[in-house]
Structures are given as C-alpha cells and as structure tokens.
Structure 1
Amino acid sequence: MSRDDHCYICATCGVQHAPSDEPPPRCDICEDERQYVGWSGQTWTTLDDLRRDHHNEIRDDLGLTGIGTKPAFAIGQRALLVRSPQGNVLWDCITVIDEATVEAARKLGGVRAIAISHPHYYSSMVEWSRAFDAPVYLNEADRRWVMRPDPGIEHWTGETKSLWDGMTLIRAGGHFEGGTVLHVAGAASGEGALLAGDILQVAQDRRWVSFMYSFPNYIPLPAREIDHIVSTVEPFRFDRIYGAWWDRNVTSDAKGAIHRSAERYKKALGR
C-alpha cells in the first residue's frame, strides 16, 4: 500500500482529509450539528498509525460480503462488497485499508465501483479508489463534504443512477440532502434488497427502521422528510434492508417495515 503520512484522518468520524504538512485545524464534518467533536477535543491519526494495531475482518453478512475493522474505529460501520457478474460494488466505506484487505477483495472479484450513502462514511475512499482503480459515486448534493477531492470521485445528479446487473443508486435524502441508498434487484434470492447505510437506520428491534437528521445528537427529521424518503424507495421491489453495522439487517418484509416505521415515527412527532 502507498504511504501518505500527510493525509490526516479525523479520529472521531474516520474521514481522511487532503494532504497537509500539519493536522488540519478542524474537521468540518464533525463540527456540523449532525456529528460531534470528540470529548477530548479534535484528534487526528494516519493510515500508517492505524495499520499498526487495526485489521479488517471479512465475512458473510446475510449473504453479502462484509468488511469491518477490528478493533472498531471511529463510527464503526462496516462496508459491503456486492458481488456481481459485470463487476463488484463496494457499498459504503471504512477507513482502514491494507494489503491483506486488497488481496482478499481481489480474490472475490475486485471492486469495479464504490458508492457511499453519506459523508460520515467517506472515510479513506480515495485510498480505496486508487487501490482498485475504481470510481467513487457520490451524490452531487453532498459535494461540499468531500474533505479529500480526487479525480476518481464522480458526483452524480438527479434522483437515481443506474449501475449494472439490476443495481440502482437512489437519492433518498433525509440525514443528508444527498443521502443515498443502493437497490440490488438480485439480492435476497431475487426478492431484492436495499443497502441503506443509516439513511434508513435499522433499529435494535430489527423489524423496524428509523430516520434522523442527527443520530448522535438526537435531532429528528420532520414528517415531510419521512414521506419523501418513503416515496423514493416505493417504486422498487425489495424484501430485505442491510444497515450500516454487522448483522443490523431487516431480514424480510422490509418494505412493510419501512411503512410501519414511518407511520410510528410521524405519530411520535405529533405527541
């Protein structure tokens, strides 16, 4: 792997920043009200430092290949490798990338493209893009949150972006204006699945999902935003939702779960 000690990584959100001789004065993502600066203040690390005491676990997560870091780092999400005849898609991203991870992913068919739900998971996306010579698809509405610009990043516009093999990016909004989910028509034994990050947050009771403007700061979304999210995914057929962490998945009746959850959420807002 390449060595780039001057691309500092925020230790709270895990997002890698543009090269600099000194750590940046702040992390704009963490200073936004949807995130937070760590209680001990802004701290930084690098990939070289992380590789000394972190590694990635690659294993099955309900029929898809999950990639997550041990011990957990920053927000702690895991990525999903969606294997497909015309090329694999890496959904969402994690900060740690090393030779062992790249080699393991190549044995599974590599990565044709990377797609990310929202800025909190931008992590080391440029490193992943360069390792696999793969474009990173981000919604244009969230361009301002890219902390390390790179030619490999492609900002897509509109409400959907078709990929291949029945995969479609959907701009659902909510948590971020460009908040994105990935529909995989062939997943779940052909019943279809949504890979949702935390645009649709799978709850601890995995029969339900939730929706928030800020999860760590408990800022809800208004009812009109909930209705918008539901309307964006309604045209698509799916029976399963994959959340952002290991095993946080709605295993069946996912569309019903979204409808029930939206109504419960809006009812709670009106109390």
Structure 2
Amino acid sequence: MDLATGLPICVTCGVQYAAPRPDCPVCEDERQYVGWDGQRWTTLGELRSDGFRGRLEPEGPGVYGIGSAPKISIGQRALLVTTASGNILWDCVPFLDDHLIAQVTELGGITAIAVSHPHFYGSMVDWSRAFGDVPIYVHAADEQWLGRRCAAVNLWTGDTLTIGDGLTLVNGGVHFAGGTVLHHAAGEDGRGALFSGDILQVVLDRRYVSFMYSYPNYIPERPETVRRAVRLLEPFAFDAIYGAFWQTIVRSDGHGAMHRSAERYLHFVADPAPAAAEQTPRA
C-alpha cells in the first residue's frame, strides 16, 4: 500500500497534516497543549523505521481495538466495529502499515470511518485510502481543525446522522462543538453499544463517564452542554460504553451510567457557590 509516509504528524496529538508547517493548531488550542520540548513532528515512515508496529486486540463482542506499540501521542485506540452491513472504524490513530491493513482486511475491512473530535483525526485520510477511499464522517462544526482534506471527508450537520443499519452518529457537542458519539443498536449482542471516544470519557473505575472541555488542562464542560448531550442520547438503548483508551469500557447498564455520571458531574459544577456571608472567614 502506498501510504503518505512523509507527511508531518504532530508528536503530541498525533494529527497528520497535508504539508510541513511550524505549528499544530490542534495543540495551540486551549483544550490541548504544545509539548514541553516545543513543537515536534514525526512521519509514518519515521515511526515504521523506529520500530513502531500496529496493535489489534478484541475489546468486546464484534469490536476490535486498533493502536500501536509503543503508543503514539496520547495513546488512544481506534475501534473496528464489525456489523452485518459493513465495518466502521470509530475514531482513528496516527499509525498504519501493510501488516495492520492486512489484519483489518481479514476481519472484513472498513466501509466507513467516523471520528469523534479533532484530537482523534490521526492519519484518517491514509486509513480511508487504504480501504478504497471509504467515507470519513466528521461533524461540520469541527471543519476548521482538519489537517488534511480529501473527497472522502463528509462534513455532516445537525444532531444525528444514520450511517448504516442501526448505526447512528449523535452530535453531543461535548469537548468540541462537533463532538460526536456512535450508537450501534445491535451491539453487545443486541443490548446496544455507545462508542464515545472522550466525548463521554469512561473514567478509571469504569462505572462512570465524565464530561470535560479540556482533559489535559482540567477545564470542565459547561452544564448546558452536558444536559443537551444526555437529552440527545436519552432515546438510545446501550448496555456498554466504549471510551477512548484500551479497556476503558462500561460493561453493563451504560444508559444508567450515563445518567448517574451526569447527575454527579452537575452536582459538583452546577451548584451555586455559598453566599459570601456563609463562607468561613480566613484566619
């Protein structure tokens, strides 16, 4: 496969750009950060020469995690969601090589790519081209963050979009204005699955999710945005929630976990501050 092995990939966020540039707009944004050693770049060719390799492992019923070893950028993994009508690559990673393409092909290939938000664009154009220029679904609200453009990129608008039988993209708007999740009605053996990246971030105890405007800079998401996301997801049944990183999965009662998580989050960020007269005086 003829990959764009020389195009620049940001070492910190893993987004690939169409041409060399001095800065990474995704990292310059307040939701991300420029690496402490300054802006650094790599390429697919350099990663392969340095011994990076693809990682593909089962993550759930009909769901396979895709990443690299060692990890690149923040270490997220994409998910190959296998369905009877074709496989969806949910989110993307920077790494791709012929061996990883062969592994995914053995599992049925990819019919479409859908991405939750700009931090997970990775090398999505190369992934699309490797599987026959399959469509890439990105919400139009995040168009400004595209590092590479091609005819395969579908900029969609609105709250929801059906991309296959029982496959629905939902624009919750958490983290980024275009922040999107994927609902698979037939997932988890018919109980439903939600693929959320870090739009609904599965936290480390894996019973809850959280909602952040910036994860690395600890900026909480606005309460009205969280309420809107939960309201849009209310009609969808899902037992599992697949987060952005390896094994970060709510395995049961995902719908209930979403509600409990939102209630907990809003309790801490939306309660009014104590009146000045009720605050404890300083010594």
Number of aligned residue pairs: 268
Q: TM-score, normalised by structure 2?
A: 0.93
> Where does the alignment leave 5 or more consecutive residues of structure 1 unmatched?
none
What letter is aligned with 1:158?
G
Structure 1 pair 3/58, CA: closer, same or farther in 2 (3 Å)?
closer
Q: What is the correspondence of 1:53-92 to structure 2 with a 5 Å cutoff?
A: 53-63=51-61, 64-92=63-91
The 3-state SS of whatever aligns with 1:242 is: strand
Q: Give the fraction of aligned pairs with identical amino acids, expressed as a percent.
A: 52
Residue of structure 2 in register with 1:24 after alignment: 21
Q: Is the 8 A contact 1:118 1:178 kept in 2?
A: yes
- Measure, in 1, the Cα distance between the counterparts of 2:118 and 2:45: 22
CA contact (8 A) 2:197 2:244 kept: yes
User: Offset of 1:251 from its aligned partner?
Assistant: 0.4
Counting only pairs closer than 5 Å after superposition, residues 102-121 of structure 1 correspond to structure 2 as: 102-121=101-120
Question: Are 1:33 and 2:30 counterparts?
Answer: yes
Partner of 2:42: 45
Rounded Cα–Cα distance in structure 2 between residues aligned with 1:201 and 1:251: 14
Q: What residue number does 2:98 align with?
A: 99
Name the counterpart of 2:209.
209
- Output the amino acid matched with 1:170: V
Matches of residues 244-259 of structure 1 in structure 2 within 5 Å? 244-259=244-259
Paired AA for residue 48 in structure 2:
R
Q: CA deviation at 1:3?
A: 4.8
Are residues 188 and 78 of structure 1, via their aligned partners in 2, closer, same or farther at CA, if it must alter by over 3 Å? Answer: same
The 8 Å contact of residues 129 and 152 in structure 1, kept in 2 or not, is answered as: yes
Is 1:198 the counterpart of 2:198? The answer is: yes
Q: Which residue of 1 aligns with 2:156?
A: 156
Alignment partners' CA distance in 2, 1:261 and 1:186: 24
Deviations, residues 72-130 of structure 1 (Å, cap 9, x unaligned):
11011111111112111000001100000111111111100000000000010000011
Query: CA shift at 1:62, angstroms?
Result: 2.1
Q: Distance in 2 between matches of 1:105 and 1:156?
A: 26
C-alpha deviations, 1:237-262, integer Å up to 9, x for none? 11110001111000001111111111
Q: Please tell me whether Structure 1 or Structure 2 has the larger radius of gyration of its CA atoms.
A: 2
- SS across alignment from 1:225: helix
State the shift of 1:230 in Å: 0.5
Q: What is the RMSD of the two structures over their aligned residues, measured on CA atoms?
A: 1.0
Which piece of structure 1 moves more, 53-62 or 113-122? 53-62
Unmatched 5+ stretches in structure 2: 274-283
Give the superposition deviation at 1:5.
4.7
CA distance in 2: counterparts of 1:13 and 1:236, whole angstroms: 31
Amino acid at match of 1:154: N
Taking the aligned partners of 1:91 and 1:214, their CA distance within structure 2 comes to: 21
Aligned structure 1 segments of 4 or more residues deviating by more than 4 angstroms: none
Q: Check the 8 A contact 1:62/1:247 in 2, yes or no.
A: no
Give the alignment's TM-score, normalised by structure 1: 0.97
- Structure 1 equivalent of residue 279 of structure 2: none
